[in-house]
Amino acid sequence: MGCENAELSILIVDDIQMAEYHRDYLNREGPTNVIAFAMQEGEFAHVAPYLLGDVVISLDTANREAAEMGIHVMERFDELLIHGILHLVGYDHERSEAEERRMAEKSAVLASLLRKAGNE
C-alpha cells in the first residue's frame, strides 16, 4: 500500500462521542461504526508524511454489530480498524462501485494476514 514507515492513532469511543464526531466532521446525525481522519490530505500533508491519520471506532456500535453478525467483538473491531486504515491510505467505497470492490478485496487480504499473525 506504499506505507513502509507510517503511524496512525486509534481512538475508541462510545456512541455518544461518535455521534458528535459524525455530526461535527461529516455533517451526519447519529453514531457510526468507524471514521477515518486522513493526515495525508490538504495543505499540511507534507508536515509529517509518516502520519497516516486517526481512526475513530465506536465500541458500542462494534459490540452491537458483532452480536448481529454472530461474531466476536474483536473480529468486528479488526474489520473496522482495517476499514479505517484503508480510508487513510486513499481507498473510498463511496466514490464508486469499483472502488468499493477494491476496498473489500484489500480488506479481506488484510483480515487474513491479521488472523495469521494472531495465530503465530
The pLDDT tens digits for 59-117 are: 999 999 999 999 999 999 999 999 999 999 888 877 788 877 887 888 888 888 777 77
Residue 92: how many CB atoms within 10 A of its CB? Answer: 14
Between 32 and 112, whose confidence is greater?
32
Annotated binding site for Zn(2+): 83, 87, 93
How do the domains of the chain map onto residue ranges?
Answer: 8-119
Q: What CATH class is the domain 8-119?
A: alpha beta
pLDDT at residue 119, rounded to an integer: 65
State pTM to two decimals.
0.84
pLDDT for the residue numbered 115 = 75
Residues that constitute the known binding site: 83, 87, 93
Give the separation between CA 15 and CA 23, rounded to whole angstroms: 12
Residue 120 CA to residue 115 CA, distance in Å, equals: 9
Whether the predicted pLDDT of 1 surpasses 70: no
Rounded Cα gap, residues 110 and 45, in angstroms = 25
Bridge partners (DSSP) of residue 37 are 54
